[in-house]
Amino acid sequence: MAIEGLLGTLDPHSAYLDKNTFSLLQERTSGQFEGLGIDISQENGALKVISPIDGSPAYQAGVLSGDLIIKIDSVRSKILESDITDIRIAQFQENTGIQFKKLLSSLYVGDVSPKGLIIDLRNNPDGLLASSIEVVDSILDEGLIVYTEGRSATSNKKYYASVGDDLNGLPIIILINEGSASAAEIVAGALQDHNRALILGTSSFGKGSVQTIFPLGADRGIKLTTARYFTPNGISIQEAGILPDIVIEPAEIKIRRNTAKIKEENLLGHLSNPVKGKSGEREVRTTDDNQLYDAINLLKGLYILNNKTKPEKAL
């Protein structure tokens, strides 16, 4: 089609959306279904799993034949060591902001006192501008989140955070890499500019443009680049990407075991510790993810530093 060729010459992100592509785009942004490696059928308005494909994400997650798929979150969390929470946002969809706020509220249930938060935006390729703004608004107390500039006056907009920090100043580290793009870069850039989070990992993808979907009938449309977006400090991440505060390349973690080490307790006739237990012992956990491992250690260090009892001044 002529329209496909025309749009293809504009920029890498403008395109004609045929029936199949338009449907997939709606599914991705709504969060109702994504390609997870499963054969499905429709039953009473829900998606029923016929069988998961061997080795697929669905298979590894334990999806079974006969399961019904109601919805798929793009946000999930887990508690790591030392009361540090890791929230993974895989993609910014329609309900991402709501899911994120719910997870934040669950961190302060009862007497629980979290020590830090890791937001993992690695390999988060795209998503909705509105959802990325909602996520930042949950954390920033006030101030500019992002602004857009385009050829049309309607494309020139500024987005601000409402008053209130759902995390009460809790230390945050955001993980990014070359697969972090678009909405993920908006979140990282806003929180970095406001000094609200440390960015750790490698430089992001560098997609600093906004696309608008124009429907053509009920099942087709066109996607056009209509504006560029800028971080609060006026930085365009187009091509350059978000630069981490701390650059950590992916690497393998290996613990060196020194079986021949000698300590005081190994010396014949050493003095015993008058206090029961060994104060020097610490729980040691390892992970295959060195970037996550460094983020955990950094947050633990910040917590210890911020909570050390300061000595009283002499009168």
| Residues classed as catalytic | 182, 193, 207
Q: What is the 3-state secondary structure (H, E, C) of the chain?
A: CHHHHHHHCCCCCCEEECHHHHHHHHHHHHCCCCCCCEEEEEECCEEEEEEECCCCHHHHCCCCCCCEECCCCCEEEEECHHHEEEEEECCECCCHHHHHHHHHHHCCCCCCCCCEEEEECCCCCCECHHHHHHHHHHHCCCEEEEEEECCCHHHCEEEEECCCCCCCCCCEEEEECCCCCCHHHHHHHHHHHCCCCEEEECCCCCCCEEEEEEECCCCCEEEEEEEEEECCCCCECCCCCCCCCEECCCCCCCCCCCCCCCCHHHCCCCCCCCCCCCCCCCCCCCCCCHHHHHHHHHHHHHHHHHHCCCCCCCC
